[in-house]
Amino acid sequence: MIPLSALNHYLFCPRRAALIHVEGIFESNEHTLRGDIVHEHTDLRGYEVRQGVTLLRALPVFSVRLGLNGKCDIVEAEPARAISNFKSQISNFRFLKPVEFKLGRRRRWENDDAQLCAQALCLEEMFGIPVPRGAVFHADSKRRREVEFTPGLRRLTEEATRELHALLSAGPERSLPPAVFKSACQECSLYEVCLPQVTSQPATLAQASRALFQT
């Protein structure tokens, strides 16, 4: 099983995913620490009911078909019928909607949407009901963005999952994916480890630099 968070890492940067999930390297920075703070409440497992909707916090989810597991920050659930025993409601939901908490202002990011879509695919497999949409709550702007799980997004999510399995199953003996230097690199907690300005150089230059140390 691959953690859902690894899918987000992979779509943000395959090299980051490999450094974390193959090499076992992780460094914290301001953004990762703030993310931990944002998730403090949703990491506490439990549930509450608001206006007839049950909010499930830190719900463990999995998909055997996709080889994914993890947890949903929040799942908004509505039972198919009124049942006083909450445990009995678990198998009788007629509506499920995952909600993911993220830093930053309200803005669409493909990796965030795919991670949320993967949660929906897990819920569909576990509960046997369609999950057509979810939402991302952006902490900085305190605004919520609705996400529809379109066929295109589902296809992207499943393809990225297969690629991620291939990357991780290759093991540490496989060379790391090359870096692709972009403006977002400087916000990455692994910037000083990855050194994207150096490791993104053309292969011919990399070969020349290695030749300097060959005897």
Q: What distance in Å separates the CA atoms of residue 53 and residue 192, rounded to the nearest whole number? A: 45
Residue 182: inside a domain: no
Q: What is the pLDDT of residues 102-112, one digit of tens each?
A: 876 656 789 99
- Res 146: pLDDT: 95
Q: What distance in Å separates the CA atoms of residue 154 and residue 166, rounded to the nearest whole number? A: 19
Residue 184: inside a domain: no
State the CATH number of the domain containing residue 132: 3.90.320.10
**16, 23, 63, 188, 196 from 13: Cα distances, Å:** 5, 15, 23, 10, 11
Closest CA to 174 of 27, 23, 26: 23
Q: What distance in Å separates the CA atoms of residue 163 and residue 6, rounded to the nearest whole number? A: 12
Q: What is the pLDDT of residues 2-44, one digit of tens each?
A: 999 999 999 999 988 988 888 888 777 666 666 556 556 556 7
Coil vs helix vs strand at 67:
coil
- Res 31: pLDDT: 60
* Positions in the chain whose pLDDT score sits under 50: none
- Res 33: pLDDT: 63
Read off the amino acid at residue 94.
R
Tally of structural domains, the chain: 1
Residue 166: inside a domain: yes
- Res 182: pLDDT: 84
Residue 148: inside a domain: yes
- Res 203: pLDDT: 62
- Res 87: pLDDT: 54
> Long-range CB contacts (< 8 A, 24+ apart) of 71-76?
71/4, 72/98, 72/99, 72/100, 72/119, 72/123, 73/39, 73/42, 73/98, 73/99, 73/100, 73/101, 74/42, 74/98, 74/99, 74/100, 74/101, 75/99, 75/123
Residue 196: inside a domain: no
- Res 191: pLDDT: 81
- The boundaries of the domain holding residue 121 are 2-177
DSSP β-bridge partners for residue 146: 135
Residue 49: inside a domain: yes
Residue 20: inside a domain: yes
- Res 165: pLDDT: 95
Residue 22: inside a domain: yes
- Res 139: pLDDT: 78
Contacts of 53 (CB under 8 A, 6+ apart): 76, 77, 78
Q: What distance in Å separates the CA atoms of residue 72 and residue 147, rounded to the nearest whole number? A: 15
- Res 32: pLDDT: 61
